Structure formats: C-alpha cells, structure tokens
Structure 1
Amino acid sequence: MSDETVAVAEKLKIPPRKGFWAECMVQHPGEAALLVASYDALSPGEAVAWVKSLFQLASEALVPGPVDAFGPDGDYWGWTARRLSRGEPCLVSVRNPDVAAQWIVTPVIFLPMAGRDDRLLPPCSGAFACPAGWPGHSGCADG
C-alpha cells in the first residue's frame, strides 16, 4: 500500500482486511474469456461455498451426468479451502466441447473504501478508467 492510501485508511479509521477475490470466467473456443461473475469473500470457506455452488450449477448445464471436483486427497473442496488458508490461489474448471467455465480465487487485501470527499481520496483514485468494450460501460464517469 502507498503512504497516501495508508493515510486515507487511518483518517477513515477502517483498517485494510484480508479476504478472497473470486471470479467466474466463461470462454467459447476461439473467443476471449468473458468475466460473468465475481465475489469478495472474507474467509476460505465463504469463497469455496460460492465457487462450489456455481460449479455445481454450471456442471449440470455443461456436462451430462454427475460431476465433482477431485483434489489430491479426494476432497477437492477441503483441499481448496486449505490452499486458500495458506494464501495460495486456486482454480476450478469445467468444460465441454462448446464452452469452458473456470473460477479463480485469489487471496487479497481489501482496502477501505473512501468517501466521495475529494480531500480523503488518495492520489491514485483518478487513475482508474473502465476498459474499452466493457458491456454497458462507456466510461467510469457515465457508465
């Protein structure tokens, strides 16, 4: 974290917190992957529960018959939670010939959100711009 961000966090009296960022990406052959969902979790168990529920739903739609994820010890979901607890990222995927879905969970540090009072915003706050081509977003100011 930059000194400016730390100063803002101290003024707001909201400390940064550890958590997990999970994303679900879908990709058709020959096309770029598309972010279809994201989730911020406070614990490995919460992150795994989100991924597991979407994995089961997508598996039913993409693959005929029962599907489960298997880890080295036969318990993929427990294995995933243990990896996250150690600060290691995880990947879960399911695919068929027409589409692939994958979930990526990464340990992160969530910074406190600053209010819209310009005096409290760190200098980097104006540097973000929405990527071109985001559906429904023509830019941060009007998206």
Structure 2
Amino acid sequence: MLVKPPQRGYWCECWTENLAEEWPPALLASFDAYSSAQADRWVAVVLPTTSPALDADASDAAWEWLYDGRIETRRALLRSEPCTVSVTHASTRITWTNRPVLFLPLMHRQGAELPACAETFKHCRTH
C-alpha cells in the first residue's frame, strides 16, 4: 500500500471581532493553500474587494498593506512563519491569518486494508 507523506502548506483564516461588544470572534472563511504564494495571494485578492466597504482609515490601512506591508508577509511565509493582516472598520476588526501546517493525506477506504479497529466501530443513531 502506497502511503503519501504529509504535504507542507498554509492554513488561512479570516476572522471578525466586534470591539464594542463582548462577543466571541467569528470565523468568516478558511482556505488551504499549498504554497506561500497562494497564501499571500488569498489576502491580496480579498483586501481590495472589501476596501470599498471600509471607512477611509481602514481602506487606507488595507491599501498600505497591499503596497508596503505585503512584502513582509511574503517573506514571513517563505520562512514558514505565521503572519496576520488586520484592518479595523468602525468597531469591527477583520483579521486574516496564514499559518504553516502539514496536511496529512487521507486514506481511501476502497481497495485498502483498514486497521482491525475499523471493524469494531458501531455507528450511533440519533433520533
């Protein structure tokens, strides 16, 4: 049986946090990137599309990152370091995170010998 090794990549997330209320942060989106360029591009594509909806300060911060801060994000990703990009609009902070991860391959259930414990699994029914 051929087993694939883990694959290096990046787990990317977009979170919002209401700074005025004591609500927990909310996950808006996540993305699995298989290269530093994909992880960097994910934020770089989303920020300009959201900037028209932001107030002037937040929009300026977004464009400043795109023109000046993005290179530091690229360098961090190339060094396999986590990085974040945040903008604050009114009382909402939007944060994009990119973290290096190892993606583990999944075992295909057909044509493979499953471990003995798989036969003892009992499916639970809920009513």
TM-score normalized by the length of structure 2: 0.74
- Asked if 1:51 corresponds to 2:46, the answer is no
**C-alpha spacing 1:120/1:58, structure 2 compared with 1 (3 Å):** farther
Give, in whole Å, the separation in 1 of the partners of 2:115 and 2:107. 7
Match of 2:16 in 1: 26
Higher relative contact order (CA 8 A, sep 6+): 2
Q: Deviations over 1:71-91 (max 9, x none)?
A: 9xx732122111111111000
Match of 1:84 among 53, 62, 77: 77
Give, in whole Å, the separation in 2 of the partners of 1:121 and 1:63. 58
Match of 1:110 in 2: 103
Q: Give the number of the structure whose residues are more often strand, by fraction.
A: 2
Amino acid paired to 1:16: P
Give, in whole Å, the separation in 2 of the partners of 1:49 and 1:27. 23
- Once superposed, what is the RMSD of the aligned Cα atoms? 3.0
TM-score normalized by the length of structure 1: 0.66
Give, in whole Å, the separation in 1 of the partners of 2:55 and 2:114. 52
Q: Which structure would you say has the larger Rg?
A: 2
Match of 1:69 in 2: 64
Segments of structure 2 that go 5 or more residues without pairing to the other structure are none
Segments of structure 1 that go 5 or more residues without pairing to the other structure are 1-10, 127-140
What is the aligned length? 114
SS in 1 for 2:49: helix
**Identity of counterpart residues, as a percentage?**
32
